[in-house]
Amino acid sequence: MTFISNNYLRSYEAHHSAITKPFFSKFLLLTLSLLYYQVSYADSFTAKRAGQGFTAITQDFTSSLSNPALLTKYTLEDDVYFSFNLGGMGSDQYNVIDIAEQISNDLSNLANDINNASTTNHLHDSVDTIIHNLAAIDNKVVNVRNGLNFQLIIPNKYLSFGLFTNQFGRIGGVVNYNDNDALLLEEAINQGYLDLTQLKSTANGLGYSLAEAGVMLGYQVTNNNHYEISIGSKLKYQRIDLLYRKLNISNFNEDEFDLNNDEYLTNDSHLNVDLGLYVAWGDERQWHAALVSDNLISRQVEYSKQIQPTDPNINFSLKPTTSVGFSYQNSWLTLATEIDLADREHFISLTPSKYVALGAEFTLFESVQLRMGLRSDLNDVDGDLYTLGFGISPWDVLAIDIAGFAGNNDTYGAALQLGLKI
């Protein structure tokens, strides 16, 4: 959707000479499709979290998906809460998808013209255009990330709990231009016959999707005049899907890189556990801290559907990750920060991300929220990401939140969250 970065894919090419390529249908499918980015406690792009710089683990019980210990942070008026979230992010700085589709169409037309003995000058002009376009997008990276989740939460003074489903993923890729194709096309004109299967230039895609469903529990350990402490956990069934696709450039079609394409997916299913800790202190409980550890059961998945002997070995690593967060909150202002203490999930041959985030939320008229934030990658894999968000929650019953974000390499994204308290 993010979501693999330029450094991700170029690192992969350095190891294997066959990189990766994502191809959802740009922004509509960015926001509405199933593949992220990203993220150990799930970059599911909840709009409240995304708008506030991707900070959430010290918010309230509506953000329990990010930290199950927050299940205890509710008011007496809160009985049942539903929320649905979706979002996506993408980067196609060099318009690779459109140009690759144009190249594929031009090659098909060229083959028809050569095999039907069209005018030679016209054919040479067509070859020049195709080669120019191939060179223009050679090794230019595209990224797409997505997230989708639903949660049902029932807070109470005994043992707050919730049910959830969550999916997030990322896919990235590149076109690899082989300059021998220029000679092949010119020779085809002279010979009067073009076999497109002989082309060596390729479009390559690599991606993953994590889907999970389970139950989350929260319990308040202590609450006195000075501080309160809560703990929480999530027990979840988790499925990891890996996609690798390599196409002759003449057969380029973005649908071939969809993470719903079972023919090129390897999947692995298992149980996993997340743990959360939440602490609040101060005369008005204005100071907050949290610690979240996700995916305590490590997992390594190998892509098993190698189509050609030259295809690379692809392995995906899911290891425990830990994040710490701090925030200051009062009736109209929230200032928050979060830091990853460990790397995120990743393909083993690629450098993982590790984030630090800052966010702020301003509450107006008790039911309107304005949010902004910044997230940066400590490992310099992804560029800086700037976020803005808006929320409205009339009578504290229905909540509608939206977020938009933008970053380096023409990266853009959006998220929508619908919530209902009963």
Q: Mean pLDDT in runs of 10 for the chain (422 residues)?
A: 36 36 32 30 73 95 95 91 94 92 94 81 89 94 90 93 93 91 93 93 91 96 95 96 90 79 84 97 96 94 74 82 96 96 71 90 94 93 91 93 93 95 89
Question: 317 in a domain, yes or no?
Answer: yes
**H/E stretch holding 146:** strand 141-154
- Which tokens is 126 given? 């067509």
* Res 118: pLDDT: 67
pLDDT at 44: 66
Pair 317, 332: CB distance under 8 Å: no
d(CA 61, CA 386): 25
Q: What pTM value is reported for the model?
A: 0.82
**What confidence score (pLDDT) does residue 8 get?**
36
Residue 41 lies in a domain: yes
pLDDT computed for residue 345 by the predictor: 66
With tokens 């390529």, the residue in question is 21
Question: For the sheet containing 299-302, what is the strand order?
Answer: 299-302, 315-318, 346-347
Q: What is the pLDDT of residue 37?
A: 29
Note whether residue 113 is domain-resident. no
* Domain-embedded: residue 122: no
| Confidence at residue 227, expressed as pLDDT on a 0 to 100 scale | 96
Question: Could you give the angle at the alpha carbon of 41 between the alpha carbons of 37 and 47, nearest 5°?
Answer: 65
Residue 147, burial from CB neighbour count under 10 angstroms (0-12, 13-18, 19+):
buried
Provide the residue type at 109 as one letter.
N
pLDDT of residue 16: 35
User: Does residue 375 belong to any structural domain of this protein?
Assistant: yes
pLDDT in the model for residue 36: 29
pLDDT of 45 reads: 77
Residue 111, domain member (yes or no): no
Q: What is d(CA 393, CA 401) in angstroms, rounded to the nearest whole number?
A: 8
From residue 81, alpha-carbon distances to 160, 330, 363, 375, 403 in Å are 12, 22, 20, 28, 21
Residue 396 covered by a domain: yes
d(CA 50, CA 374): 10
User: What pLDDT was estimated at residue 349?
Assistant: 55
Which CATH number belongs to the domain containing residue 410 in this structure? 2.40.160
Domain extent, residue 152, equals: 6-94+139-421
3-state secondary structure of 173: strand
**pLDDT at residue 154, as a whole number:** 95
- Report the number of distinct structural domains present in the chain: 1
User: Is residue 105 domain-resident?
Assistant: no
Residues whose CB is less than 8 angstroms from the CB of residue 344 and which lie 6 or more positions away in sequence, other chains included: 38, 39, 40, 321, 352, 353, 354, 355
